[in-house]
Amino acid sequence: MSTPLVSVSYVSTAADSFDDAALSALLAQSRASNHDHDLTGMLLYRRGRFFQVLEGPQDAVDELMTKIRRDPRHADVRVLLSEQLDERRFSEWTMGYEPIGVPSSPPPEGFRDTFADLESDDDDASIRAVRELTVWFRARTSVDV
């Protein structure tokens, strides 16, 4: 009997800033490990904050979340949404990544410029933000395995 397919979306704070080289190394490590453990997902990094969606077998996702919580590169890990899936949303990515630059001018009204709304105490607002970010990511990125 196979383990259920699940998705976990979380945010965390980087213990130290990540430059392009550090992010590249993290992505290479994550992609190799995710491939070996049948995990897929996506990652965003901005202003010292990570937003990640992981999906795969329940056991593999739980094991990776335990590692992430213990990883000294992450602080303040907060799971925003955990749900069972009928099928993967990121099946084409062992770890999709979209670089997000820091704008030089204020964002237009209603535009999400940070992950701040993911930090809300309002669970419904956080879940809406997770869903919007995952839709944005899938629409914006090209396949990168």
The alpha carbon dihedral of 123, 72, 30, 86 has a sign of negative
- Residue 134 scores a pLDDT above 50: yes
Query: Do the Cβ atoms of 65 and 8 come closer than 8 Å?
Result: yes
Q: Which of 5-9, 122-126, 141-145 has the highest mean pLDDT?
A: 5-9
Query: For residue 47, what pLDDT is reported?
Result: 78
pTM (2 d.p.): 0.73
Contacting residues for 58 by C-beta, under 8 A, at least 6 apart: 3, 4, 5, 6
Domains of the chain from N-terminus onward: 5-101+112-140 (3.30.70.100)
pLDDT tens for residues 50-70? 888 999 999 999 999 999 999
Distance CA 96, CA 141 (A): 8
Give me the percent of the chain exceeding a pLDDT of 90.
Answer: 29
- 113: helix, coil or strand? coil
- The helix/strand/coil state of 21 is helix
pLDDT recorded at residue 40:
92
